[in-house]
Amino acid sequence: MTEPTPATDAGATKPAGEGVDDAELSREVAEQTANDLAVEEAFARESDGTDAGTEAAKNLG
């Protein structure tokens, strides 16, 4: 049996976020995070017991 081949060369991987400053990380997270106002309507509909999956499906349309 042959040994599996590593996905990267030994020592070639870096920790997540290495070389990126806090301000840039904050901008990237903000761009990928839903604005609370955009999902507020779905939260209101869920408050009566509606399944979150049902509400998510409505928002995919």
pLDDT in tens, the chain (61 residues): 688 777 767 767 778 778 888 899 888 888 887 666 667 777 777 777 767 677 677 766 5
Interatomic CA distance for residues 3 and 29, integer angstroms: 38
Residues 35/26, Cβ–Cβ less than 8 Å: no
Rg (CA), the chain: 21
As a dihedral over the C-alpha atoms of residue 17, residue 19, residue 20, residue 22, rounded to 10 degrees, the angle is: 90
Cα angle, residue 9 at apex, residues 8 and 15 outer, rounded to 5°: 65
Question: 3-class DSSP state for residue 59?
Answer: helix
Question: pTM higher than 0.75 for the full model?
Answer: no
